[in-house]
Structure 1
Amino acid sequence: MAEFRTTHAGTSAGAVRIDEGLRAHMNKVYGTMSVGMLITAAASWAISGLATTVDPATGNTVLTGLGQALYNSPLKWVIMFLPLVMVFAFSAMLNKMSAAAAQVFFYVYAAAMGLSLSWIFMVFTGVSIIQTFLVTAISFAGLSLYGYTTKKDLSGFGTFLMMGVIGLVVASLVNIFIASSALQFAISVLGVLIFAGLTAYDTQNIKNTYLQMAHSGDQEWLGKSAIMGALQLYLDFVNLFMFLLQFMGNRE
């Protein structure tokens, strides 16, 4: 009987440690993601301000020399695809990087994403951007909470959702050249649905990955896992925001 009590107490203590560790892990994931979002927003707003100016003769907003270089030269293609290239590079190099280096890389990536998205401040009104951001934040919070708390196994949706992402990327690249409004509408609808699903899926996956590896005691690996989780949720948020902006954004 005494042995049972000792074993039971040890199991309970282990469960408490896992719960505390999971809470700290998820806090790091969301904290790192939030800092990345702030860097993206600040970089995007600052760059858009430097890229435009008001013509004193007409009162119209025009591009500065920097704006012409960023948006009306071949450099725009580099800016457009830079975040995508950096994501692949990050995934390939993560195992060789320290947790500290991975975190710095993530923040540099967030700044690059801000540069890539700076054009939205010249196309959409500031009020509609803020409104869309708030709607995205509320939706993201609800979807992530669902993914964290649900007892339903969402792993079966992973392959389907990733195939959907690949389809969105291909369709978006095609639409750059054909500029079809009907295709853009379909992409936006599917984008919202796919990244809503990915938000819940990725949250559950981050939680389950920690629970599977918590007993290893490899803090360096867990640190890098938290940063990768932050990147996944960051991408879910940014993409959900951009697709919602197609519906909710009021153009200048």
Structure 2
Amino acid sequence: MRTDIAQTSFFPLGSDEVAQQRLFVQTVYAWMTGGLLVTTLAAWATLSIPVIFELSLSLRWLLAIAMIGLVIYLSARIEQMAPSTAKALFLLYSVLTGKTLAVLFYAYTAESLATVFLITCGTFAATAFYGYTTKRDLSSVGSFMFMGLIGIILASLVNLFLQSSALTFATSIVAVLVFVGLTAYDMQRIKEMYATAAQNEARATNYAIIAALALYLDFVNLFLNLLRLLGRRR
């Protein structure tokens, strides 16, 4: 019996609710940070090896489709899959993102990439802190942000044909606002995920992974849109 508990227990035995919630949030951020590190290394490796860069460039649409498929699969099957599978798929997604972003990063100077990254970190941290500490229910904000996200996707699809710099600029501004809002919303939602994880410790790691994926996507998309607005091209 004790062996079973040891295998499925996520939270230390005897820990109080505050400590458990803190551990869950720390786990989420550890995986998110790990994912960003893997993405950075994958992007650096892709940029450093011409053959891999050319391959990533030629397969960029296939990579994008694979990434969308991974997010959908992870979101739909997270409660059924083994924790090891959830971890592996999250890391795979991080690698694919790095290979995809390398093509975009090539167009910008290293200085502007570093500057925008620091701005993104500050914006994300402040927004996440607000989302975690506010007493206001952000459910309505989340719904509004998801509507905005759909609008951004549609505008981006239209702009594939129009190739309008003005539409790109406007879409990027709206996208920054949307992902700032989603960061606060997702951070608050982590509290709800903790409550679910506390009732099902065998799947607590899975909940932490899907929460990390949500914040990872918020961070990456916030960074990309700030880069379009503030980045300096080569």
Q: How does 1:1-252 map to 2 (within 5 A)?
A: 17-51=16-50, 65-71=51-57, 73=58, 75-211=59-195, 214=198, 216=199, 218-252=200-234
* Distance of 2:102 and 2:230 partners within structure 1: 18
* Distance of 1:174 and 1:70 partners within structure 2: 24
Counterpart of 1:34, as a letter, is: T
The percentage of aligned residue pairs carrying the same residue is: 40
Runs of 4+ in 1 over 6 A off after TM superposition: none
In structure 2, the CA distance between the partners of 1:22 and 1:77, relative to structure 1 (3 Å rule), is: same
* Distance of 2:65 and 2:171 partners within structure 1: 18
| Consecutive unaligned residues in structure 1, runs of 5 or more | 1-15, 52-64
Counterpart of 1:44, as a letter, is: A
Cα root mean square deviation, aligned? 1.7
Q: 8 Å contact 2:159–2:168 — kept in the other structure?
A: yes
**Residues 80-129 of structure 1: CA deviation (Å, up to 9, x unaligned):** 33222211121122222112210111011100111111113310001100
Larger radius of gyration: 1
* Distance of 1:210 and 1:68 partners within structure 2: 42
Moved more, 76-85 or 132-141: 76-85
Counterpart of 2:71, as a letter, is: V
Counterpart of 2:18, as a letter, is: D
Q: 8 Å contact 1:129–1:249 — kept in the other structure?
A: yes
Q: 8 Å contact 2:46–2:52 — kept in the other structure?
A: no
Counterpart of 2:56, as a letter, is: L
Superposition TM-score, scaled by structure 2 size:
0.89
Q: 8 Å contact 1:83–1:116 — kept in the other structure?
A: no
Report the alpha carbon displacement of residue 223 of structure 1 after superposing the two structures with TM: 1.6
Tell me how many residue pairs correspond in the alignment.
221
In structure 2, the CA distance between the partners of 1:213 and 1:104, relative to structure 1 (3 Å rule), is: closer
* Distance of 2:47 and 2:160 partners within structure 1: 22
* Distance of 2:220 and 2:138 partners within structure 1: 21
